[in-house]
């Protein structure tokens, strides 16, 4: 089994070049009458033939031949239908040639033709060419109209050419062309996308003054923008003051759900109904999806039930949200039940739904079932995409199944699907889990050649597994590679290296690394401090651990139970049980609370000093705080009691404590 490389996958697939129409009126004037008498062609026949032909190359060949061989003179309508067909196939060179042919034949362009050409350029993201075509409008025998201006403004908006929108709009007004509601809505969207909601409000007033009442698109655009910028209260005011419509309410409800203000979102559903509006599938699915994200699956099902009661049929997004929610809650049976319900309701899955199912099944470790879903996708004409392959490779990688991961990789390459940085990282982990670190590094180098540079997560994956396998020196050298590639190490990178160094007992290098973190502006987190404190306490460096704990408090990092428990353990190991008990008494903060480990370690220390009476005091204190002993706690006590009294007395004492 070998891993195939990208090679030709980097080549972009290009549309076949359409043959350019060289001449469409080659029949001499003297012979035109003779040819037409042989077989007269009507405009309606040509339009019908062009309209019915789906193959644009065949349609273009007919378009040319009908003028050459049968003496037909093309009209604006025949040009229009051919230009629209070419535009849909993004054959813009041929479109421009036909525009020139129309000019040579003294056929002025219609509004529909100009709109079609500008829209085609907008579709391929070429606003510059749309603008150039617009500037030729007089040359092409057409006059600018509000509709043409609207499509031009929309093309500039889609291409994020915001700086050009205002000059074009100003030019429109100079020419005396009155903007309509569509014009204003495009301008509103442009303003909102540039965080100019304040100006958008003024434009609403201008609309009203010009006699154009803002519609649902106008209000929804502004409400969506306000919600995205966190101005939910302003959005609420606008919704309540505007003409009620479902899309605007949906935008507000979506904003509320993004902020997890679920109670308010539900109140606005009631408000919709009170104002005579009917919540639709988008309304309910938005709320249902939000409940799924916060793992409130019972409430999600309640929303589904409400949908059904109201006669609102769930769609593919509704079911997909539920399936994903149940998988994330590890409720596999419920997720599969929802999938079956979706199929029974004849709501056919799409690629997104299949990907959620594949990812969910992979997360359970059932790769055999995941592969069955993969095969079903292909049978149902839903080609797997990068997310599908990524889920499978990740699933195989987590199980350490290198053969399965490589097989899936090769299928992905054969399908023409190019891996992204996430999929490469999954494959790096698969190699690392099989201790094939050279292969992992070679794959990372190949990422650079394939114009898919590794990120910090990729390198962290390699570093973690190198440290776990005891190759800390090799892992340390990876930081230099990261810096060469301008991929900055983060806190996780350093924490993993610190853990490896502390496990080796190389504290000098660990503290040097901490200094490197500070020099590079990397935050020392609770995990960083706990990693070092755990390492040095294991080495019996209690004083250093206490100094470091004080430093972390000064730096504003609150110690947690893991921090203090490590020091308690170290005190008890050295027989300093009084110090351990004092430290236990100080544990009384939100993050640093006494737990079963804290008490068990102290009780063990007391028992080792044969201080059974004091250990019983802490056992009762532990129970009074609602902390229940575990097996380790009882083992320590029973072993200590049995060493100090006979078996029957030990049983009586334990029973007394339990009662």
Segment 156-192, tens digit of pLDDT: 998 888 888 989 989 998 999 998 999 999 999 998 8
Please answer whether residues 81 and 55 qualify as being in contact, where contact means their C-beta atoms are separated by less than 8 angstroms: no
pLDDT the model gives residue 561: 87
Confidence of residue 300 (pLDDT cuts 50, 70, 90): very high
pLDDT digits (tens, 9 = 90+) for 61-106: 999 888 887 678 899 999 999 999 999 999 999 999 999 999 998 9
* Among the listed residues 299, 292, 237, the one whose alpha carbon sits nearest the alpha carbon of residue 263: 299
517 CB contacts (<8 Å, ≥6 apart)? Answer: 491, 494, 524, 528
Where in 489-584 does DSSP place strands (E)? none
Which one-letter DSSP state was computed for residue 241? H
Task: Report the alpha-carbon distance of residue 506 to residue 183 in Å, rounded.
Answer: 68
Joined tokens for residue 581: 């008990």
- Asked whether the predicted pLDDT for residue 447 surpasses 90, the reply is yes
pLDDT of residue 358: 96
pLDDT in tens, 571-630: 888 888 888 888 888 887 667 888 898 888 888 888 888 888 888 888 888 888 888 888
Q: Given a cut of 70, is residue 655 above it in pLDDT?
A: no
CA distance 42 to 603: 102
Q: CB pairs under 8 A, 24+ apart, for 338-347?
A: 342/316, 345/313, 345/314, 347/314, 347/315, 347/316, 347/319
Contact 472, 501 (CB under 8 A): yes
3-class SS shares of the chain: helix, strand, coil, % to 5: 70, 0, 30
> Considering the entire predicted model, what is its pTM?
0.77
Residue 256 — φ and ψ, nearest 5°? -65, -40
* Whole-number Cα distances in Å, 498 to 58, 108, 160, 447, 478: 67, 75, 45, 27, 14
Q: How far apart are CA 643 and CA 306, in angstroms?
A: 65
- Which one, of 588, 580, 523, lies nearest residue 560 by Cα? 588
pLDDT digits (tens, 9 = 90+) for 338-356: 999 999 999 999 999 999 9
Q: In this predicted structure, what is the pLDDT of residue 441?
A: 95
For residue 383, CA distances in Å to 232, 321, 357 come to 40, 21, 15
Q: Is the pLDDT of residue 20 over 60?
A: no
For the chain, the distance separating the N- and C-terminal CA atoms, rounded to the nearest angstrom, is 64
Which residue, 421, 357, 414, is CA-closest to 391? Answer: 357
Q: Identify the pLDDT of residue 646.
A: 52
Q: Which two tokens stand for residue 495?
A: 């924490």
Q: Where are the domains of the chain?
A: 7-107, 459-523
39-49 mean pLDDT:
84
CB 434 within 8 A of CB 468: no
The neighbour count for residue 369, using CB atoms within 10 Å, is 17
> Which letter does DSSP use for residue 279 in this model?
-
> Phi, psi at residue 330, to the nearest 5°?
65, 25
- For 454: left if phi > 0, alpha if psi spans -120 to 50, otherwise beta; the answer is beta
Say yes or no to pLDDT of 32 above 60: no
How far, in Å, CA of 282 to CA of 247, rounded? 9
Q: How far apart are alpha carbons 59 and 52 in whole angstroms?
A: 9
**How many beta carbons lie within 10 A of that of residue 557, not counting itself?**
20
pLDDT for residue 79: 92
* Helices 281-293 and 246-258, axial angle in degrees (round to 10): 0
Angle subtended at Cα 255 by Cα 252 and Cα 258, rounded to the nearest 5 degrees: 155
**Angle between the N-to-C axes of helices 111-123 and 146-158, in degrees from 0 to 180, rounded to the nearest 10:** 0
Q: Would the CA dihedral through 391, 393, 399, 403 be positive or negative?
A: positive
The Cα-based distances of 595 to 573, 598, 604, 631 in angstroms read 19, 5, 14, 14
| Mean per-residue pLDDT over the chain, rounded | 87
In which band, very low, low, confident or very high, does the pLDDT at 34 lie, cut at 50, 70 and 90?
Answer: very low
- Which stretch, 141-145, 456-460, 604-608, 632-636, has highest mean pLDDT? 456-460
Buried/exposed code over 9-19 (b: 16+ C-beta within 10 A; e: otherwise): eeeeeeeeebe
pLDDT in tens, 183-205: 999 999 998 888 888 888 888 88
Confidence at residue 590, expressed as pLDDT on a 0 to 100 scale? 60
Show the tokens assigned to 332. Answer: 């596999």
Residue 650 pLDDT: 53
- Quick check: 18 pLDDT over 60? no
**φ, ψ for residue 400, nearest 5 deg:** 70, 20
Q: Do residues 148 and 134 touch, judged by C-beta distance below 8 A?
A: yes
Three-state DSSP class for 293? helix
pLDDT tens string 464-515: 999 999 999 999 999 988 988 889 899 999 999 999 999 988 988 998 998 8
pLDDT in tens, 241-264: 888 899 999 999 999 999 999 999
Mean pLDDT confidence for 106-127:
92
Confidence at residue 37, expressed as pLDDT on a 0 to 100 scale: 47
Mean pLDDT is lowest, of 37-46, 398-407, 471-480, 645-654, for 645-654
Residues of 388-410 as b/e, b for ≥16 C-beta within 10 angstroms? bbbbbbbbbbbeebbebbbbbbe
Exposed/middle/buried for 643, CB within 10 Å: 0-12, 13-18, 19+? exposed
Residue % of the chain over a pLDDT of 70: 91
| pLDDT value for 647 | 52
- Rounded to whole angstroms, the Cα distance separating 264 from 255 reads 10
What's residue 2's pLDDT? 53
Residue 421 has pLDDT above 90, yes or no: yes
Of 132, 125, 76, 129, the C-alpha closest to 102 is: 76
Q: Bigger pLDDT: 651 or 350? A: 350
């Amino acid at each position: 089994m070998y891993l195939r490389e990208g090679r030709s996958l980097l080549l972009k697939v290009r549309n076949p070049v359409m043959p350019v129409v060289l001449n469409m009126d080659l029949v001499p004037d003297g012979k035109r009458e003779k040819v037409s008498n042989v077989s007269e062609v009507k405009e309606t026949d040509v339009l019908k033939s062009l309209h019915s032909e789906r193959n644009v190359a065949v349609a273009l060949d007919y378009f040319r031949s009908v003028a050459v061989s049968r003496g037909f003179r093309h009209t604006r309508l025949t040009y229009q239908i051919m230009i629209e067909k070419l535009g849909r196939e993004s054959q813009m060179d041929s479109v421009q040639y036909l525009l020139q042919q129309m000019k040579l034949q003294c056929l002025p362009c219609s509004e529909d033709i100009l709109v079609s050409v500008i829209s085609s350029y907008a579709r391929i993201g070429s606003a510059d060419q749309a603008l150039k075509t617009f500037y030729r409008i007089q040359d092409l025998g057409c006059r600018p109209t509000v509709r043409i201006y609207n499509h031009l403004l929309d093309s500039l908006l889609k291409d994020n050419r915001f700086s050009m929108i205002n000059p074009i709009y100003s030019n429109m007004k100079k020419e005396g062309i009155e903007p309509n509601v569509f014009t204003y809505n495009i301008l509103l969207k442009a303003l909102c996308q540039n965080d100019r909601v304040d100006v958008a409000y003024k434009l609403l007033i201008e609309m009203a003054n010009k006699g154009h009442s803002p519609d649902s698109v106008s209000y929804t655009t502004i409400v969506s923008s306000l919600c995205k910028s966190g101005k939910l209260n302003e959005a609420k005011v606008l919704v309540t003051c505007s003409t009620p419509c479902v899309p605007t309410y949906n935008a507000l409800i979506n904003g509320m759900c993004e902020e997890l203000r679920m109670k308010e979102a539900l109140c606005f559903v009631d408000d919709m109904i009170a104002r005579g509006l009917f919540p639709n599938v988008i309304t309910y699915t938005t709320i249902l999806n939000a409940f799924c994200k916060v793992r409130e699956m019972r409430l999600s099902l309640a929303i589904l039930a409400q949908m059904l009661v109201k006669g609102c049929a769930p769609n593919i997004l509704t079911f997909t949200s539920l399936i994903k929610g149940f998988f994330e809650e590890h409720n596999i049976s419920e997720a599969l039940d929802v999938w079956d319900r979706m199929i029974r309701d004849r709501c056919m899955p799409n690629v997104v739904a299949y990907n959620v199912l594949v990812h969910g099944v992979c997360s359970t470790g059932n790769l055999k079932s995941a592969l069955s879903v993969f095969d079903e996708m292909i049978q149902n004409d839903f080609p797997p995409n990068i997310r599908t392959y990524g889920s499978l490779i990740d699933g195989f990688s987590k199980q350490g199944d290198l053969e399965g991961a490589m097989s899936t990789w090769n299928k992905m390459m054969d399908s023409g699907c190019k891996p992204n940085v996430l999929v490469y990282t999954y494959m790096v982990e698969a190699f690392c889990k099989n201790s094939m670190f050279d292969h992992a590094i070679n794959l990372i180098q190949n990422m650079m050649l394939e114009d898919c540079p590794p990120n910090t997560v990729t390198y962290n994956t390699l570093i973690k597994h190198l440290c776990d396998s005891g190759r800390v020196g090799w892992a340390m050298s990876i930081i230099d590679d990261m810096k060469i590639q301008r991929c900055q190490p983060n806190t996780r990178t350093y924490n993993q290296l610190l853990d490896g160094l502390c496990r080796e007992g190389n504290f000098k290098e660990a503290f040097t690394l901490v200094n490197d973190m500070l020099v590079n502006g990397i935050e020392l987190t609770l995990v960083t401090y706990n990693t070092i404190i755990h390492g040095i306490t294991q080495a019996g460096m209690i004083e250093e651990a206490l100094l470091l704990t004080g430093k972390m408090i000064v730096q504003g990092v609150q110690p947690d139970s893991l921090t203090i428990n490590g020091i308690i353990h170290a005190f008890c190991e050295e027989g300093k049980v009084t110090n351990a008990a004092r430290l236990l008494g100080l544990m009384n903060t939100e993050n640093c609370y006494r737990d079963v480990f804290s008490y068990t370690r102290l009780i063990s220390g007391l028992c080792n000093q044969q201080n059974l009476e004091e250990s019983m005091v802490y056992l009762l204190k532990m129970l009074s705080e609602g902390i229940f002993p575990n097996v380790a706690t009882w083992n320590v006590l029973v072993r200590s009691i049995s060493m100090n009294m006979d078996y029957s007395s030990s049983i009586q004492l334990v029973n007394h404590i339990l009662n």
